Structure 1
Amino acid sequence: MHCQILILLFQVFKTTNCLVIPQITGELPNCYFDPIQLEIQSHCQLADPKFHEPGQVDLLIGADTFWDLLDNEKISLGSHKPILHNSRLGWFISGPLGISTPNHSFCHLSTLDVQKQLAKFWEIEELSCEPILSDEKFQAEGHFSDNFKRGSNGRFTVAIPLKKSSEVLGDSKLQATNQFLQLERKLSKNPKLKAMYTDFMTEYHDLGLMSIFSSSNFKPTYYSPHHGVLKEDSSTTKLRVVFNSSVPSSSGVSYNSIQMVEPVVQEDLVSIMLRFRQDQYIISADICKMYRQILVQEEFHPLQLILWRADPMYELQTFSLNTVTYGTASAPFLATRCLKQLAIEYESLNHHASRVISKDFYVDDLLSGADSFEEAVRLCQEVSSILKL
């Protein structure tokens, strides 16, 4: 009989989606009863002739399909008794039996461990947990605290956390020169790209982010090759110049390899997103060119050198990068740690805004919110005010 029903279903519905699970429910009906008491007419061929015997439910048909199986013909078996409905599969019987049966109940429950899920949720939401730092990461945190400074205009100046002396660096200028000449030939074939690249580097120099470097024979130096990353869909900077400080020098050591592996000082993205979903009014923003806002102490300038000229007719010049630079290993930590420091220093001035700066930034992107429109606007203004300091 089961096979016949499946064949008929296939004939009616050529394609259907089914979810295969170990069990739908317990046995139905929950006890045996005598169908003779229902006085079902003999000409009614039932879809399930053994409906009166407890058995497993093999197939649960959804309402979107079930009603297409029914015909208009139906027969009432009497007061407080079932009704017979004719269908493409035979007669269905449904309704009260009108006979005495043992009183059994079914309880349907989920096997999902809710306790563990709730515990995991609160672990994610726990705001007071501080990461356990390795020795190197602990040193990086201490190095920042001992060496950062703020100028009279409020701007941060930081030291690069080195785990090895820069004396281990070999020659890097020759390789940087060869790579720049390759870049120059590439740019010469694409005037539009060359113009964008030149504009980027010119702006970098005009803003004081890089300056001409006077070489010294008494200090180790490191030259970083650079290349452009083009993002046509960007609404701001179409071209970003990336500085590659991972290229090994002649000693096999690069600038990045002698820097400490820094700790992550911001909240994880899952925690930020969970809080973000709770607010009625939401705030999304980012800090414009965050790395450029942070100066590097002059003693580290010889380790942040690049080669550049706007045209092959000019002499190739050496420039030092004067700010935290995209492409150096310590840049993410130094930038986000400065952001964290702002939250620490202005916590007593504005606890709410400082907490947002400390907890709701993921690198340079802010995801936060408030319960009212007025509060959200005020929070935007307060966060911006602290960052401008």
Structure 2
Amino acid sequence: MPSELLVGKEDHEILLATAVVDVLSENGYPVKARLILDNGSQCSFASEKFVRKLNNKTYDNQIQFSGIRCTPTVSNKMLNIVICSNIHENFRLKVSCAILPVITSKLPRIPLNKNRLNIPSEFRLADPKFHIPSDVDVLLGADAYYDILLPQIHRVGPKLPTLQLTRLGWIIGGQLPPQRVPKQGKVSLLCQNACESTDSLGEILSRFWEFEELPESKFLSADEELAEQIFIQTHVRLKDGTFQVDFPFNCPTEKIPLGDSFHIAERRFTNLEKRLQKNQELFSTYKNFIDEYVSLKHATYVPFNSTDKSAEIKYFLPHHCVIKESSETTKLRVVFDGSTKTSTGFSLNDLLHKGYQVQPELYDIFCRFHQHSYVLTCDIEKMYRQVKMNPSQRHLQNILWRNSPQEELKCIQLSTVTYGVTSSSFLATSVLKELASNCKGFPLAKKALLNRRTWTMCSMAQIPFPS
């Protein structure tokens, strides 16, 4: 580097934390990637160069974001990636990345002498070559940053970098010893949603009129199309008239990366049990809910031994109750948690396509309420639980229960679509749509269910009411 490009005095270089990981291609092959970890960013990003190297499918999704001074930038493409740690073999992290031409310049800006940092030799660094200027492939934002952190911190010394343990290895960042650095600006990667104040009056008015218009036909993303294809190919109607569906997995079913979920479910059930023991009325209501669930054959007791390592991997859904005193019907609702991470860092919800919203937007429904003199609303009782899950996948829907702390814990397997699982709304409403498609003897009901403009049961303008 020419000497005239160097500052005439020593300056402090600031080291930004990086990590080297494997990112899985769609064929399952690992591709090396260098991450920069930025908890000041509200989303994650991938560079176009890395996306071409990975060769995974992208999908259309426009995101507007900004950094310092709220200068807006737009990304029109997204990419879903699975990050694998080179340190913790079982750790995987699914991240959605907006795609940019370039994330930042090579980091660090100049080669560093890492021997001056006195890093303990036993520390396995997330980026062993952090001191050599290299390209950045992925920016891992706050949407995923905190999922990799571990509690251990090691400080090298005063005014020296700090090491933080993560599931990717030890990362290092902070102030470096004084040295001669290039005469150029510092790097800042703060990123957030674009500031509204930068929008012109014309843009604001444009959005206003777009809001006032009824929704247009919805175009599905690649993930949403996959969810729909899985539903079309796997759902069946059983002899009793009910529907059976499969989970819309976003990974091969034979490679589902779920680990132990029993122990966290056990811990959370124990906390719930303590709460129920202090309130016998609450316990009685909760028990009645569980008993009804089983009596309706929406769930069954199954044998389970938590020490049997040869048994099929089960996923346990922690559960708790929510009390709503204002409700005229169900004051207690039991909530299942499909987002609980297992020992591999994945939850059931992490492995599923969410699908899309089959029914119209709320604003669309609201507008239709103004079109007729009379409207009719109704509720489909236990709608999710009217749809059965494929028996081969029910081992991923288990809960723990017992009637008293003196009993052994029992395993209850949920047999139907379950609220708390990310794909449940899509599956249930898709079944409703499929049912309507086969509804030959009730044309008004069929029209109401299939026509996005008339999602209510029927048009009250067609039904004579007594004066």
TM-score (norm 1): 0.61
Contact 1:272–1:360 (8 Å) recurs in 2: no
Native 8 Å contact 1:226 1:243 kept in 2: yes
The match for 1:292 among 373, 380, 385 is 385
- The alpha-carbon distance between structure 1 residues 249 and 119, as it changes in their structure 2 partners (threshold 3 A), is closer
Aligned counterpart for 2:340 among listed residues 241, 247, 250: 247
In structure 1, the residue matched to 2:97 is: none
Alignment length (residue pairs): 257
Shift of 1:123: 4.8
Counterparts of 1:231 and 1:239, CA distance in 2 = 6
Structure 1 counterpart of 2:435, from 342, 346, 358: 342
Partners of 1:148 and 1:159 within 8 A in 2: yes
**1:332-352 deviation line (CA, Å, top 9, x unaligned):** 100111111112222x54333
Q: Distance in 2 between matches of 1:369 and 1:194?
A: 44
Taking the aligned partners of 1:361 and 1:158, their CA distance within structure 2 comes to: 27
Cα deviation for residue 267 of structure 1 reads 1.2
Q: Give 1:233 deviation, angstroms.
A: 2.0
Instruction: State the percentage of identical aligned residues.
Output: 35
TM-superposed deviation, 1:167: 3.1
Q: 2:265 aligns with which of 167, 176, 183?
A: 176
| Distance in 1 of aligned mates of 2:256 and 2:246 | 17
1:160/1:300 contact within 8 Å kept: yes
Aligned residue in 1 for 2:295: 206
Contact 2:368 2:453 in 1 (8 A): no
Larger radius of gyration: 1
1:186 equivalent in structure 2: 275
Match of 2:404 in 1: 311
Give the Cα–Cα distance (whole angstroms) in 2 for the partners of residues 345 and 203 of structure 1: 31
Equivalence for 1:302: 395
Please list the CA deviations of residues 298-339 of structure 1 after superposition, one character each: whole Å capped at 9, or x if unmatched: 111111011101111222101111110010011110011111
TM-aligned CA deviation for residue 369 of structure 1: 3.7
For 1:284, what is the secondary structure of its paired residue?
A: coil
Match of 1:132 in 2: 219
Provide closer, same or farther for how the CA distance between residues 352 and 170 of structure 1 changes in structure 2, counting only shifts above 3 A.
same
Contact 1:291 1:324 in 2 (8 A): yes
Alignment of 1:21-40 (within 5 A): none
Q: Secondary structure at the match of 1:241?
A: strand
1:256-267 equivalences under 5 Å are 256-267=349-360
Q: Give deviations 1:215-245, integer Å, cap 9, x for gaps.
A: 4835221111100111122222221111111
Partner of residue 159, structure 1: 246
Instruction: Say if 1:151 and 1:367 are closer, same or farther in 2 by CA, change over 3 A.
Output: closer
Residues of 2 paired with 1:327 and 1:356: CA distance?
A: 28
Q: Provide structure 1 residue ranges, at least 5 long, that are not aligned to the other structure.
A: 1-111, 377-389
Tell me the residue number matched to 1:109: none
| Amino acid paired to 1:231 | K
- Secondary structure of 1:287's partner? coil
- Structure 1 residue identity aligned to 2:265: A
| Cα distance change on mapping 1:122 and 1:206 into 2, 3 Å | same
Cα offsets for 1:260-315 (capped at 9, x unmatched): 12111111111222122111221121111111111101111111011101111222
Task: State the alpha-carbon separation in 1 of the partners of residues 446 and 425 from structure 2.
Answer: 20
Higher helix proportion (structure 1 or 2): 1
Cross-structure match for 1:67:
none
Q: CA RMSD in A?
A: 2.8
The answer as to 2:365 corresponding to 1:272 is: yes
CA distance in 2, matches of 1:178, 1:122: 49
Q: Secondary structure at the match of 2:392?
A: helix
Offset, 1:168: 0.5
User: Which residue does 1:149 correspond to in 2?
Assistant: 236
Q: Structure 1 pair 313/208, CA: closer, same or farther in 2 (3 Å)?
A: same
Q: Give the equivalent residue in structure 2 for 1:221.
A: 314
Identify unmatched segments of 5+ residues in structure 2.
1-201
CA pair 120-136 structure 1, distance change in 2 beyond 3 A: closer
Is the Cα contact below 8 Å between 2:358 and 2:430 reproduced in 1? yes
Q: CA 1:116 to 1:187, structure 2 compared with 1: closer, same or farther past 3 Å?
A: closer
Tell me: CA distance 1:174–1:343, structure 2 relative to 1, closer, same or farther (3 Å). same
Matches within 5 A, 1:32-181: 120=210, 123-124=213-214, 129=217, 131-164=218-251, 165=253, 167-181=256-270
TM-score computed with the length of structure 2 as normaliser: 0.51
Asked whether the 8 Å contact 2:236–2:243 carries over to 1, the reply is yes
Alignment of 1:356 onto 2:445: no
Q: How many angstroms does 1:125 deviate by?
A: 6.3
Between the aligned partners of 1:162 and 1:224, the Cα distance in structure 2 is 17
Q: Which has the higher strand share?
A: 2
Q: Is the 8 A contact 1:284 1:368 kept in 2?
A: no
